[in-house]
């Protein structure tokens, strides 16, 4: 809240006059792991008795949500905040669709790692363990 009060005190009335542009270096990496449906002892050897898929999901700067949100004259690379928010929303939708079991059947586990390309676009590598036990 203090930043808002400071801006009003300085007479700034437009939101594009507040803040600063931040470029994340390509080495910046965020990793997230989801191991929610495996028994504790089975977390370390899931591929011994299951099938798995490897999926890569990349942000597209021409997604409607991104194009509609950026202002006239701006490039998607000028607004990493919008890029990351839209990517995160679409990634959450994808993960929910995978967990639902309608795409690949029953799922045991999902592991994913989010990375940023040199041009600043995020992408994610996902490993999906499918519940197809060998009898």
| Mean pLDDT, each 10-residue run in order, the chain (135 residues) | 64 62 49 45 49 88 92 88 93 93 87 85 90 60
Q: Contact at 8 Å (CB) between 76 and 85?
A: no
For residue 7, give the H/E element and its range: helix 2-10
Residue 94: which domain range? 20-130
Is 40 inside a domain boundary? yes
Is 4 inside a domain boundary? no
DSSP of 15-31 = GGGSS------TT-EEE
Start-end of H helices in 32-118: 64-69, 80-99
Report the domain count for the chain.
1
Is 80 inside a domain boundary? yes
pTM of the predicted structure, to 2 decimals? 0.61
């Amino acid at each position: 809240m203090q930043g808002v009060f400071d801006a009003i005190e300085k007479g700034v009335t437009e939101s594009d006059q507040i803040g600063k542009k931040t470029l994340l270096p390509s080495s910046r990496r965020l990793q997230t792991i989801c191991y929610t449906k495996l028994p504790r002892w089975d977390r370390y050897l899931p591929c011994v008795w299951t099938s798995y898929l490897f999926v890569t999901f990349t942000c597209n700067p021409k997604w409607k949500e991104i194009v509609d949100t950026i202002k006239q004259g701006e490039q998607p690379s000028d607004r990493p905040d919008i890029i990351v928010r839209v990517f995160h929303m679409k990634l959450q939708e994808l993960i929910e669709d995978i967990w639902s079991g309608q795409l690949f059947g029953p799922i045991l586990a999902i592991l994913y790692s989010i990375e940023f390309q040199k041009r600043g676009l995020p992408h994610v590598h996902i490993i999906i363990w499918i519940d197809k036990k060998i009898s």
